[in-house]
Structure 1
Amino acid sequence: PDVTVTITMDGVFINDAQVTVADLTADNGVVHVIDAVLLPPAPPTTTVVDVIVNSPDHELLEAAVGAAGLVDALSADGPFTVFAPTDAAVTALVEALEITAEDLLALENLGDILKYHVVAGEAMSTDLSDGQMIATLLGPDVTVTINEEGVFINNAQVTVADIEADNGVVHVIDAVLLPPAPPTNTILDVIQNSPEHMLLAAAVDAAGLAGALSGEDTLTVFAPTDAAITALVEALEITPADLLALETLGDILKYHVVAGLAMSTDLSDGQMIATLLGPDVTVTINEEGVFINDAQVTVADIMADNGVVHVIDAVLLPPTDNVEEAKASVQLMPNPATDVVRIGGLQGNANVVIRDLAGRMVLNNDNAGQLFNISHLGAGTYVVSVTQEGVTATTKLVVR
C-alpha cells in the first residue's frame, strides 16, 4: 500500500506522521525521522457477497440478492454458508416457470427463496455428511446427500466447494433450492385432520367438494360429527356407502356451508343465513346453547386459513326436495305438519318408525294406517321410515 506525502506550512507529513529530521544520508539510501509510527491499512475484506459479485457465473444471483435487500445482511460478520446457484441454474428455473428474469426479481417471496440458500455458521465440505439436515436462515432444513456421484444439497449438486470468504464460505450449486410450501390449514384440512369427522371427509371427497373447501373463498362450515352422520344412516336404514352414493349428497353438504366468515359472535337468535345450496338455515340461541336448525353447535370457531368450522351434533337436511329418499319413495301430507300426518299411497297397515336427527326412536307403530298422530313430537326435523310387505320407504318430516 502507498503512503501519502503532504507538505504544508507546518512541515512535511508522511500520512499523519511529521518529518522531524530529513535527509540523513547513508551508503545505501536516505533516512527521514518521523514522529509517529506508520500503520499499514487493514487488508481488504472479502465477504460472501463479494464472492458472488466477483463471479461471472452469478450475475443473476447478485441481482437477486440486491433486489431482496440482503446485501447488508450477507456482508455482516456472519459466519454464513451460502449455496450459490449459477446463472444457468437460475435461467433454468425462470424458463421452467415461464417467467422472465425481471419477474423473478419482483417476486414477493424472493427473499425467502434466497434465505433458503443460506445457513448460519461456516459449513465446509468436510463438515457435511450424508443424510445431514441443516437449518437455513428461512427456517426449513436442507438435506445433504453424499454418494458416488457427488455432494447434493436437496436435489442440487455442489459443483464448486469451499470458496472461502472472511465471513463464511460459498458452495456453487447447479440448481435453485425451492423452499417447501408452508403447511396449509384450510377448512378441508380441519375436517380431514379431525378424528370425529372421518365420514364427513369421505362425503366431501365423494361429492367433489374438496377443491371448494380448500380454495381461496372464505366459507363457514357447520360440520356434523361421525356420530351425527351415523345416526342419520341408521335412521335411514342405509349404509355409509349408500349415503356416499346419493345423487344429492353434494346438495346436502352445500346446505352445511355458508359464504363468508360467520364466527359464533356474529350469530344471533332467529338469524336466517343463506347456504351455498340456497335455502337458509336458522340460528337459535337459548339457555341450552347455539343451534343451527335442530343441530346443536358443540365446538365453535375452529379457525382455518379460508374460514371457520363449527362442529354440530346432527346432519342438516335441506327443507326442500333436494334430498331424495334413500331407498324408496314415500309421501307425507301435510309436510311440514303439526298434529296428524297422512301417508300417501298406503294400502292397509304398515310399520312406521320415526327418529330424530340424533338417531333416537321417537315413534314405532307396527299397525299404522294412512293417518298417524305426531302431536306429541316437538318442533324439528325427523326421519320417517315406512315398511310394508318387506319394502321400506324413507323420507323427511318437519314438525312445527
Structure 2
Amino acid sequence: MTADVPEGLYGPIQNINNANITEIKAVGAKYTMYVIDRPLQAPVGTIWDTLVASPHFTKLVAALNATESGGLRDMLAGTTVPASALTLFAPDDSAYQSLLGSSGAAQSAAAVEVLYCYHTLAQGRYPRSLNGRHFSQQLFPVPAGKVLTRDVYAGFYAQHFTGLQMPSLAVPPLSISKIAPGQLSVQDAHITQPDITATNGVIHRISALLHPPPTVLELALCGTAPPEPLAYAGTFAAFGELVALAGDVVNATLSAGDTPLTVFMPTDAAFDAAIAAGHLPHRPFGQSMTSSEAADLVLYHTAMTDKGPMLFRPTADSPFASDFTDTQPIASAHTVAGQALQLWVHLSQLNSTHVGAAGSDFDQEVFLNNARLYQCAVAEGTGHSCAVPPAGSVPPSNAYALNEGTLCALHAIDAVLLPPPRNATGVEQRIVSMNDTGIFAELLRSVGGLAAYAALSRSRADMPWLYESTELAAEVVAYHVAPAQVHFSRYLNESQRIVTAALNSSAPVLASAVCDTSDCAAGGGRTVTINGQLAIITDVTAADGVLHVLNGVLLVSAQPLKAINGRAWVLDVPLVVPAPTIMDLLRASDSGASMWAEWVSLDEELAAMLADPEKGSYTIFAPADSAMLAIPERRRPAIQHDRQLAQLLRFHLSPGWHMSHMLSNATEAERQQLAGERYCSGTTLQTQRTDCEMHTQVGEGGLLFMGTPGWPFSADVITRDLVASNGVLHIISSVLTYDGYRLPA
C-alpha cells in the first residue's frame, strides 16, 4: 500500500544524516542554509567505539572480540578501511537473552565473523546511499530498472512494504520491510532504535539476532517446502530422499565448513522424467538403490571450488552476469580412484536482449551437463525463470547456505545429472561396456583412440575394408571425436558445424537437434542427427566427455569419386583420407556437375574460396551436366564469357551447411497431405549474390524443388548431401536465374 501522495509529488529525498531537508535557503552570496526536521546526533566515534561505549551491546562486543584481527571488528573500528562506510544492524543484549542465552562464543571464530558480516550491509548503491551509510529513511524499495525518475522515490512514501533485498557483507541479502508507518524490520527483527550515528557509518539497534542462512545439508533436505528462490523451480523431495539414504558420507561433505560448496539440486519433476526414461529406479529410493549409489548421485551434484561458490550476480546493466564460464569444467565431490569426476558448463545465448545503461546484453541460459539452471534476472527476458520480484529488490538467483562460516550456494536444475558407473568412467570404457563386440569397440582397441560419437550398428563382417589400413581406421575413429568442447544434446541447434579430430581438425560434422514435442525445453523430445545419422541414445555421460550412439558410421574421405559422408551401406569400396573440398567434388569425373565446375573455375576468386576450408563453409546447388547440355550449344560460350557469370555462379551458392533434411522443413502432417501435384513451402536461403534469395519447395516423397522468388520452381534436387570438409553439394536439374538476369545474345 502507498500513502495518498500524488505521483507528481514524488521527488528526490534530501537528507543530512538521519534528518530530512525541508527547505533550502540562500544566505548571502556564498552560503546556503538547510532547514532540517530534527536535530543531528553527534557521533561518539567509530561504530566500534559506539558499541563499546553503550550498555546495550555488551554481548555483541564480547562476540566480536573473540574473532580474528583484520576482520569485521577492525573494519568497525576504522583500523581496516572498507570500500565504503558501514551500516550495522546491531542486536542488543536482550536479543541474546531471548534467543541464545549466550554471546554465541561456542561457535568458531570464523562462524561468528560471518554471522555479524550478515548483520552488515555491503557498499551503498544509488539512489539510497552512495557512501554506504543507510539511515532509516534511505531504506525503501526502488522499482527495478528505474533511473533518475520521480517514481524511484515512491517507496519512501509507502505506509508499509515487504521484499526489499539488500546485500550483506556476507553476500546473502537481507530482507527489509516496513510493517507500519515508521516501523522498519530486518528479517524477523524489529529496528528498535534507528540511526545511531558514527564517524564511519550508522548503527540500527535490533531486537533479535538475525538468523543466518541454513547449512547446505538443511537446504538439501528442504523437500516439499523449499525457500526462495528454490521454490520458484519446484520441490525437492526426491533429492532429499537420496541425501537421507546416502547417510554419513554425504552428510559429512554437505556439512563441512572448510570448502565452499555449490550444490545443483534437480527438481522432483526432473527426477520423474529420469525415472520415466529408465535412467533411475522408481521411488522410494530406499527400496531400489543402495546407500553408496545414492551417495555417488548426490556427490556428483556437488561442486567443490576453492574460490567460493558459483553464483549468479545479476545487475540492472547485466542481468545474466554470473561466475559460470562457457566450456568450464567443474570438479564434483564424486571421486573414482581418487579422481574427481568433472561437470561441464555451457552458456547458451538466446534471441531476446536486455538493454541496460551499459548497452545491450544477450539473455543467456546456463547449462551444467544436460541440465539447465534456474535463474532470475533483474529485467524480464527469455532466460527469466523466476516469479516477478517485488519492487526494489534484486531477484534472488542464488539459494545461500553457511557451513561453519563458509559461504555456499544451491541452485535448482531441470534434469538429473547421471554419473558414469564406477567400473567404466571414461568415454572409451563406456563404449566398450555398452557393446563389447561392436565394430567401434574393435576399432578403438585397434587404434587406441576414444570417441564422443560412436556407431554401433555394423559388424566387422559388413565392412572388412576398415581393417585394411591402420591409418584409415584411426581417421574414422577421429571423425567421431569432437575434441574442442563437450556437446550434450541440449547444446545443439538445428544446424551446427562441429569440428572433429579427423585430418588435423579440418573435417567437421554437421549436427542437428530438432524439437519434436512440447517438453523439448526441459531436455526431452529431441531428434539428434550427425551427418544425417540418427542418435539412438544421447547424453551418455563419461568422466572425460559425453557419448551419443548413432545408427550408422560416419565416414570421412578425400577420394573425389566417393565423397559421400554418413551412410556406410551405399559404399562398395574403401574410402581414403584426407577429405575433399567442394571444388574437389565438383571436378570429380562422376560428380555429374563437371561442366558447372568448368564455369566456376573461370571465376578464380570463387574457385579459390571453394577450394580452401579456411575461407568458410558453403552449400552449392550445381546444375547437372544434363542441364548444361540442354542449353543450346551456340549460347553456352556467350553465357560462359558474359560479365553476369560471376553473379550467376554466386546465386547458386549459400553460406553455411544446408543438408537436404534442413531444406525440406515441412511438418509430418504437411508431408502426409502431399500427393501428386501438391507441395508445401520449404526453406528460404540467402545466396552469395547480394540481396538475392533462393526458395525451396517439398513435394510427395520428400522431393525437393529449387527456385527464385516469384518464378516457377523449375529445378529438382536430383542428388543431395554430397559432403566435403567445407560444405555440401547438391546437384539440381536446371540452371537457376535471378530476377534481373538477362540472357546474353
Bin for the TM-score computed over the shorter chain: 0.3 to 0.5
Q: With the length of structure 2 as denominator, give the TM-score of the two structures.
A: 0.25
Query: What TM-score, normalized to structure 1?
Result: 0.44
Please tell me whether Structure 1 or Structure 2 has the larger radius of gyration of its CA atoms.
Answer: 1
Higher RCO by CA contacts (8 Å cutoff, separation 6 or greater): 1
